[in-house]
Amino acid sequence: MASPVVTFADKMQRLAAFWDRMEKGGLTFEDLQSPIDDPGMRTRLIRNWQAGAPDLRAVPTILIPFDEPDCHREAREIMGDNFHGIAAVQRHFGAYTEQELGARRDIPFSEQTLRECAKEFILLPTHPLDLPGIHRAHPERFNDDPDAPWFGEQKQREKWSSQTIADPWLLVRKNVVPDSWNKRIDAQKKHIERFPKERLVLPAEFAYAALVRYLETREKLCGEYIVRFAVQTAEGNWVNVNWNGDQLNFNNWNDNANDNIASGSVRHFLLSIVFTLSLSLKQWPIPLRRAAAVCFLLHRLHPATEHTADFIDCLLDLGVLSHANAYRLSRELQNRYWFSRER
């Protein structure tokens, strides 16, 4: 079908309507001059616009004073150089808001878990960023267009790349999952079940952890492999990443097996919450007890429960909770247990 003919009058009418709305939204006539004079700004503006103008996280410029609690010091003592604390991640990804900082005051992994992971995992707090947001923070560390990476395109954001890091703390494998290479994607998904305390890492989680680790120690997570994620692009390929010098190279490919393509993983955050909830379960009303009782089974039977943001929805879908009790559970998790350290 031929494109409709756009006349000069059509353009003027569209521009007049555009300017009317922009002016009402706070844009000044002087603001229009900057993209006219600056070709770089013009390019960024057009690409960001065509990508759907994704929200940018407002990053505080002033660090909020933070005295490390005992659980942070204990974790550092156990994990050694594999612990990266609040100060480290703020150096590389900006200051936390007061609410974000409060959510990371307690570490949701037991001493036993940390000792199990001390040599093969790194522990770090996270920022609520998606992959394009991580790229914006360190474009020099990506082997891609510094202004417009392919995973920032609107169709990729709608499909996968706008997913933010949900867990406030991550325990990330430093090397690939053992024996996860030379497998197609379905086999890699099945293989991770041999490690019931772990799940496959997500693209944003890997990029964030890999950059913090590299910038702090110059060590490359999974440096000898291409890490393939159980995440598909808008075109149906599988997202993967590898190191190219000191840069991350995000790409996509089919599901072929290869001896240099493997899986990365993180420890289950949800299981830590379940254990913590169980410590005072007897004090909970019956509907909340029922919810916690099925939580462990849900993470195994329902893939969506690997992501904490979907947990309440799953409980609702299965009829475990009413909406009122789901709201109460959500508040309990956030205010009392969600970020509590296992004891």
Q: Could you give the angle at which helices 323-332 and 286-301 cross, rounded to 10 degrees? A: 80
Asked whether residue 83 falls in the same domain as residue 203, the answer is: yes
Asked whether residue 114 falls in the same domain as residue 261, the answer is: yes
- Does residue 63 sit within a domain? no
- Does residue 42 sit within a domain? no
* Domain-ending residue, one of 234, 267, 300: 267
Asked whether residue 114 falls in the same domain as residue 256, the answer is: yes
- Does residue 244 sit within a domain? yes
Which pLDDT score, from 0 to 100, does residue 54 have?
A: 60
Asked whether residue 99 falls in the same domain as residue 194, the answer is: yes
- Does residue 19 sit within a domain? no
Asked whether residue 181 falls in the same domain as residue 249, the answer is: yes
Asked whether residue 261 falls in the same domain as residue 297, the answer is: no
d(CA 150, CA 152) in angstroms, rounded, equals 5
Which pLDDT score, from 0 to 100, does residue 101 have?
A: 93
Q: Could you say which residues of the chain have pLDDT below 50?
A: 274-282, 296-297, 299-310, 312-343
Asked whether residue 276 falls in the same domain as residue 288, the answer is: yes
Domain enclosing residue 298, as ranges: 269-337
Q: Is 315 exposed, middle or buried (0-12, 13-18, 19+ CB in 10 A)?
A: buried
- Does residue 48 sit within a domain? no
pTM to 2 decimal places: 0.70
Number of domains in the chain: 2
* Domain-ending residue, one of 244, 267, 290: 267
Instruction: Give the CA distances from residue 254 to residues 112, 168, 200, in Å, rounded to whole numbers and listed in that order.
Output: 39, 31, 18
Which pLDDT score, from 0 to 100, does residue 290 have?
A: 57
51: which 2 tokens?
A: 């990508």
- Does residue 27 sit within a domain? no
Instruction: Give the CA distances from residue 286 to residues 85, 164, 281, in Å, rounded to whole numbers and listed in that order.
Output: 38, 33, 9
Which pLDDT score, from 0 to 100, does residue 51 have?
A: 60
Which pLDDT score, from 0 to 100, does residue 280 have?
A: 46
Asked whether residue 278 falls in the same domain as residue 259, the answer is: no
What is residue 227's three-state secondary structure?
A: strand
Asked whether residue 319 falls in the same domain as residue 329, the answer is: yes
- Does residue 40 sit within a domain? no
- Does residue 50 sit within a domain? no
d(CA 328, CA 343) in angstroms, rounded, equals 23
Asked whether residue 240 falls in the same domain as residue 104, the answer is: yes
Asked whether residue 154 falls in the same domain as residue 224, the answer is: yes
Q: Kindly report, residue by residue over 170-207, the tens digit of the pLDDT.
A: 999 999 999 999 999 999 999 999 999 999 999 999 99
* Domain-ending residue, one of 247, 267, 287: 267
Asked whether residue 321 falls in the same domain as residue 261, the answer is: no
